[in-house]
Amino acid sequence: MGKVQQVDCECKEKKTEFSLVRVKGTWKSKPGKKINKDPVDCVSPAKIFESVTEHGTSWTVVSPITFTYKVTETHGLLDPGNSTLLVGHITDSQQLEDIKKSNKPIRRFIVIDQEVCDIYGSKLTEYLEANNVMYKILALPTTEENKSMETALKILDEVNNFGLDRRTEPIIAIGGGVCLDIVGLAASLYRRRTPYIRVPTTLLSYIDASVGAKTGVNFANCKNKLGAYIPPVAALLDLSFIQSVPRRHISNGLAEMLKMALMKHKGLFELLEEHGCMLLDTKFQADNTVYGHSSQKAASQATRIAITTMLEELAPNLWEDDLNRLVDFGHLISPALEMKVLPSLLHGEAVNIDMSYMVYVSHESGLLTEEEKKRIISCMVGLELPVWHEEFTMELIQKSLQDRLKHSGGLVRMPLPVGLGQAEIFNSTSYDVLYRAHVKWCEELSVSSDSTCDA
């Protein structure tokens, strides 16, 4: 047996930090952190770190990316005198002034959900023509069943034919969460990133899909498996769209609102607990009958708190670098359930079934009292949300949590309520707790006493 030669791994390494400065239109790297700014136009926040060893040279680039986007609540978005739809995304006052002075017509490509177009299409056309806009309106059926790359590519083909200026002519998406997700992904792909605007027309998208950065389509029978983190330049919110939404879809949106209440805001929970029925009856609109002005006040408070708490969680973590996310509550098992029974459950309904079960997990773990558990379930029922489903089996739970381990850095990262409006992330909930919670959940909430429950 020959001798094993010892390899010396202690290679001499020379490290240098470079700042990047722009001088007369060109970028130059300058060693060190301190830069004489006299001849320099600007200093980039980006850095280059050079490492030289006897084996070669490597460069590490650190390039901070900042996204700025607006979330704006407005009224009468399709009123011809309201310019928000056309220029509400612009933050630079000089740019806004230049547009007002320019004789160049505004051009907009608009993707609208087919059902929304049936209701608001003529009003949208009147708005665009009253403002002398050159436009293309593409109406598409946007449901979970056709939330696909094929739909995104169809949009891109039409966008390409229209010929957008990717810097000054944002694509506008008008519809529910599925529409906003598909258009967002299409925009992020076109010429590597074209700005887009979200106009939510359902309660669910109003307080959830519209205010974040996620885009995506379903793939390989998995929900949102293809996507990107590219926020819109603006989300334009107008509660008047909600008046045409069916009652079931109002409940669907209330599920995501309840999620934020349980995770972060006891006051929102109490508001939904007390006024949920009124919000359903009035569809978040001002009401001059039995409810009076209290309906408008409750609607404004509920949406404002839901959006604020959602932005608090999303803004510091747009790219989900931190995998401990309270907004994942209700989203551990529900994606698999939703895809399994498609199209019988709406997104918020599947989320609420997941949340309902997790409330039992919290109670079984000693995190919620029996009274708190009952109040939460009672609130869900009051919001006309499903709290149990026969396909939500232990087998589905185990498979979903195993999949989550693969995509969450080896930890389950399970958000659970630890009181009303308070939550924590847990990684070590035992199978025994999950099983006992599932048995009690089925016993207490299944649709009939003789329903079977797969444990």
DSSP state of 438: H
- Do both 234 and 284 map to the same domain? no
- Do both 217 and 261 map to the same domain? no
Residue 5 lies in a domain: no
Q: Cβ(84)–Cβ(236) under 8 Å?
A: yes
The band of 294, judged by pLDDT with boundaries at 50, 70 and 90, is: confident
pLDDT at 455: 37
The Cα 85–Cα 131 span in angstroms is 11
Residue 453 lies in a domain: no
- Do both 240 and 252 map to the same domain? no
Query: What is the crossing angle of helices 266-282 and 247-264, to 10°?
Result: 170
pLDDT at 8: 52
Catalytic-role residue among 3, 14, 37, 214: 214
- Kindly tell me if the per-residue pLDDT of 62 is higher than 60: yes
pLDDT at 290: 66
Question: Is 214 a catalytic site residue?
Answer: yes
**Boundary residue ending a domain (245, 268, 284):** 245
**Boundary residue ending a domain (24, 45, 62):** 62
The count of other CB atoms within 10 Å of the CB of residue 405 is: 13
211: its two tokens: 């205010």
The band of 214, judged by pLDDT with boundaries at 50, 70 and 90, is: very high
- Do both 57 and 78 map to the same domain? no
- Kindly tell me if the per-residue pLDDT of 3 is higher than 60: no
The Cα 191–Cα 97 span in angstroms is 27
Give the angle 435-437-443 at the CA atoms, nearest 5°. Answer: 105
The Cα 293–Cα 287 span in angstroms is 6
The Cα 130–Cα 81 span in angstroms is 9
- Do both 35 and 121 map to the same domain? no
Angstrom distances, CA of residue 79 to CA of 130, 131, 210, 240: 10, 10, 21, 12
pLDDT at 89: 94
Domain count, the chain: 3
- Do both 209 and 271 map to the same domain? no
**Boundary residue ending a domain (211, 227, 245):** 245
- Do both 46 and 97 map to the same domain? no
Residue 450 lies in a domain: no
Residue 451 lies in a domain: no
**CATH number of the domain bearing residue 292:** 1.20.1090.10
- Do both 194 and 314 map to the same domain? no
What lies within 8 Å, CB to CB, of 393 at 6+ separation is 453, 454, 455
pLDDT at 104: 87
Residue 1 lies in a domain: no
4: its two tokens: 């094993």
Residue 112 lies in a domain: yes
- Do both 53 and 129 map to the same domain? no
The Cα 448–Cα 296 span in angstroms is 38
pLDDT at 447: 67
pLDDT at 181: 97
Residue 6 lies in a domain: no
pLDDT at 365: 98
DSSP characters over 303-360: HHHHHHHHHHHHGGGTT--S---GGGTT-SSHHHHHHHHTTSS-HHHHHHHHHHHHHH
The Cα 346–Cα 81 span in angstroms is 36
- Do both 298 and 213 map to the same domain? no
DSSP characters over 288-310: -SSSTTHHHHHHHHHHHHHHHHH
> Containing domain of residue 391, as a range?
248-445
Consecutive H or E run containing 400:
helix 394-407
